[in-house]
């Protein structure tokens, strides 16, 4: 079945450090790829997305590129802030097959940024 | 404003006492879904509904029921809750065929079963 694997956390960084959270997926069909963010005590917000190979999603200084050849969608930010502390989820949505329209999540990566 | 509204936000209950978590959306979407979030496991789909009166099991349906009598509402029912259903629950919706937009989520319901 479809699955998403994220790098294990938690990740702890100092402010202004570079961030990479790895995400790889297995999926049949033609997935759309997403990163969601969950700030402490809140629900899930869409951070960025990409719907086809080589697309780059970006938002709030975060970026991720849809790499079909490596089935990856790594999240990157050049300079993190304390306010970026949150849980980050990678997810895939399949447009066809037995997982039609289902959003499948990775296990989540906790990011803590210290001043 | 497009919204998915869940109630209650927090709930503590005892084992075996039936409860319902409500979910309502104002986007006129046909597809709705319930997820549970547990540490280290991410979010897992419990049930989903492609349209009114059409529901189907997700990955972890045991111990849950749902109903879809009208398009906007999709309640999650725990007939006899057990402590292993202590979790954070999210309702979500997406537009028909709108696979490139992902889902819109409610604010979550934190359930504790003692």
Give the DSSP per-residue string, A9-55.
Answer: S-EEEETT--EEE-EEEE-SS--EEEEEEE-TT--EEEEEEE-STT-
Q: What is the mean pLDDT of chain A?
A: 92
Residue of A94, A103, A108 with shortest CB distance to B103:
A103
> Is the pLDDT score of A41 beyond 90?
no
What part of B 77-96 touches A (C-beta under 8 Å)? 90, 92, 94
> Which of A30-44, B5-19, B87-101 is modeled with the greatest confidence?
B5-19
> How many contacts (CB atoms, under 8 Å) link A and B?
59
A86 to chain B, minimum CA–CA distance in Å? Answer: 13
Contact A34, A48 (CB under 8 A): yes
- Asked whether the beta carbons of residue B48 and residue A102 sit closer than 8 angstroms, the reply is yes
pLDDT of residue A98: 58
pLDDT of residue B2: 82
Q: Tens digits of per-residue pLDDT, A57-94?
A: 999 999 999 999 999 999 999 999 999 999 999 999 87
- Asked whether the beta carbons of residue B102 and residue A32 sit closer than 8 angstroms, the reply is yes
Could you give the CA distance from residue A43 to residue A95 in angstroms, rounded to a whole number? 25
User: What is the 8-class DSSP label of residue B97?
Assistant: T
B22 to chain A, minimum CA–CA distance in Å? Answer: 16
Could you give the CA distance from residue B43 to residue B34 in angstroms, rounded to a whole number? 10
Contact B74, B92 (CB under 8 A): no
pLDDT of residue A30: 77
Residue B1: pLDDT band with limits 50, 70, 90: confident
Which carries the bigger pLDDT value, residue A9 or residue A107?
A107
Tell me, yes or no, if B72 comes closer than 8 A to chain A by beta carbon: no
> Is the pLDDT score of A97 beyond 80?
no
Contact B37, B60 (CB under 8 A): no
> Is the pLDDT score of B99 beyond 70?
no
Note the Cα A47 to chain centre separation in Å: 8
Residue B98: pLDDT band with limits 50, 70, 90: low
User: What is the 8-class DSSP label of residue A97?
Assistant: G
The β-bridge partners of A45 are A37
B108 CB neighbours in chain A (<8 A) are 42-43
């Amino acid at each position: 079945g479809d699955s998403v694997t994220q790098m294990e956390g938690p990740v702890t960084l100092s402010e202004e450090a570079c961030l990479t959270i790895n995400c790889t997926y297995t999926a049949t069909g033609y997935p759309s790829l997403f990163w969601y963010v969950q700030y402490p005590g809140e629900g899930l917000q869409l951070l960025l997305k990409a719907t086809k190979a080589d697309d780059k999603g970006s938002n709030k200084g975060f970026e991720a590129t849809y790499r079909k050849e490596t089935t990856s969608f790594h999240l990157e930010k050049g300079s993190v802030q304390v306010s970026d502390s949150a849980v980050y989820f990678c997810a895939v949505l399949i447009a066809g097959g037995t997982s039609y329209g289902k959003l499948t999540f990775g296990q989540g990566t906790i990011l803590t940024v210290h001043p | 404003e497009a919204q998915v509204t869940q109630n209650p936000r927090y709930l503590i209950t005892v084992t075996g006492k039936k409860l319902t978590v409500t979910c309502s959306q104002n986007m006129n979407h046909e597809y709705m879904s319930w997820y549970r979030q547990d540490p280290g496991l991410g979010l897992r789909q419990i049930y989903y509904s492609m349209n009114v009166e059409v529901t189907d099991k997700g990955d972890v349906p045991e111990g849950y029921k749902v109903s879809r009598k009208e398009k906007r509402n999709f309640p999650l029912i725990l007939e006899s809750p057990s402590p292993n259903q202590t979790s954070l629950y999210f309702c979500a919706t997406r537009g028909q065929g709108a696979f490139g937009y992902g889902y819109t989520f409610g604010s979550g319901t934190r359930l504790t079963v003692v």
